[in-house]
Structure 1
């Protein structure tokens, strides 16, 4: 296969309903030597309402935007200093919201010595702002990773029990509704180029799933899977000193990290989850344990719950965006 030019690789955004293996996928793509995805950020969707229509950016705008980027990105703005970002913005003088984003993301690639690669962004919550992403980057590729919601629920539960930083829904009901709301947002998009991967399939047959993804992203599968010099030994000395590169190889994948809910979730909680999420568990080919949850009589109650969850999440996201900007 001929080497793909970076100009032919569109930016990629990885989204999910959370705890679905997006970090694993990020690590695999970072081993491609063609796309690099920095630490997490939802800068683009959270700042979009305030700047997407702006056609002229002043020095004051740049300084405000840098603060917003730092506040909405891991590692205090991917460990880029305000001075460095301001210098990059002054040099490029971007005058659209899309160019602002590209300048910041490319500044990171330049800082870590990967300016020949295409940038990507990974953050599960971006699933709620796909329309904002596409309005900013019409050529972008969206990758949606879905995982059995019952295992997702267990993962969030563990975060709340053991995590230093606690986030995400807590109870089985809120977990199910949050998982479903993300899937419904994907279900509702039209005329958007996206690829959907099941976490379980990525674990069981990573080569097949990555081949499918490489075709979608227009990158060379052979380049980062079969070439033993990639991705590690081809990195620059500067890259080797970076702690946040996060590169994974197929050989590191553990295929057994599935169906934990069967042993770790109580039968009552499994029933409650299936009662709420049955249509979407079935849609994504996840097994149903309790036949009664498939009865049509549950449909009106589910629709009411789904609508309520959407209204609540939209309100919560809007409040978060306002609070971020006002900070």
Structure 2
């Protein structure tokens, strides 16, 4: 196992669960840098066939160019020099994990910090793939009351789904987190709850730092101090991150959700909610029509993701050895690395 300084920190959870707040808390630590949300890590993995064997210099450069030049990757939010980043990727180990890690290490060096992390709620869908790219990564799953996540999601201007999809999203995040906890173990996967985090920041962050192998620092309890650095100004829906920690929105689902939405949440998410310590309101059972529609939405999403996972397994049978996993320290080895294990297959 690598020294903690070399271990990436991956933050994930259901959208609107407080992952941006946690990102800032970690970024406020004097040894950890967690950038604004990017759009290139899982995209690189799922489209890796287009880059070919990265031992070929032109292929590795093509990957670097895509990460740095493509606007939808949001590389520009990191404030890094494009040409220098491309050069460092090209001169580094020829693997997906190492190329991506190069970008995040450069971001950490920008703040004179030795350790990097990354945050994106949707990473809960790709934990086995992330674990494959970053074999020493530590995963932090933030859980919030599913009813609050649904109530917040439906009020976001950027959200294109409906309440059914929002409910299914929280269920998937919880189920994927439980599966990862079993697979990765307590040394690599950690769960904490949003309500406890905002209720006792110092206690929860101290425990998290223990998991990460870091010393707690009081600055972590003042995440608003770094919000201007680590949250792009265009993200108006993260306005609260520029203020002191508040409990104001905890339990807001009571006002944000319609009665039928509360009933549906508590029926289809009930066991998961109670397992995580959330009390049910005793709402009546939803109508058959609402339940049927939810099952249809949830099943369609599940089948789509299973097909993607199956396709990935097929790809893995024919891809070059050493294509994916990061090389510790990000230094080019004397010989091409090989993958040592398939234990991350889910």
Instruction: Indicate the TM-score class for this superposition, using the shorter chain for normalisation.
Output: 0.7 to 0.9
Task: Choose the corresponding residue for 1:211, options 198, 201, 206.
Answer: 206
Aligned to 1:237: none
C-alpha separation between the residues in 1 aligned to 2:310 and 2:242?
A: 38
Aligned to 1:176: 167
Map 1:51-70 onto structure 2 (within 5 A).
Answer: 51=48, 54=53, 56-68=55-67, 70=70
Map 1:111-260 onto structure 2 (within 5 A).
Answer: 112-114=110-112, 116-160=113-157, 166-167=158-159, 169=161, 171-189=162-180, 190-192=182-184, 193-222=188-217, 224=219, 243-245=228-230, 252-260=244-252
Q: CA RMSD in A?
A: 3.8
Q: Mind listing any 5+ residue stretches in structure 2 that lack a counterpart?
A: 232-239, 312-346
C-alpha separation between the residues in 1 aligned to 2:191 and 2:4?
A: 24
Corresponding pairs, count: 293
C-alpha separation between the residues in 2 aligned to 1:301 and 1:83?
A: 50
C-alpha separation between the residues in 2 aligned to 1:61 and 1:311?
A: 33
Aligned to 1:37: 34
TM-score by length of 1: 0.76
C-alpha separation between the residues in 2 aligned to 1:182 and 1:258?
A: 19
Identify the range of structure 1 (31-40 vs 307-316) with the bigger mean alpha-carbon deviation.
307-316
Q: Mind listing any 5+ residue stretches in structure 1 that lack a counterpart?
A: 161-165, 233-239, 320-327
Instruction: Verify: 1:289 aligned to 2:289, yes or no.
Output: no
Aligned to 2:89: 89
C-alpha separation between the residues in 1 aligned to 2:206 and 2:130?
A: 25
Deviation at 1:119, TM superposition (A): 0.6
Deviation at 1:303, TM superposition (A): 7.6
Structure 1 contact 32–225 (Cα < 8 Å) conserved: yes
TM-score by length of 2: 0.72
Structure 1 contact 71–77 (Cα < 8 Å) conserved: no
Structure 1 contact 54–97 (Cα < 8 Å) conserved: no
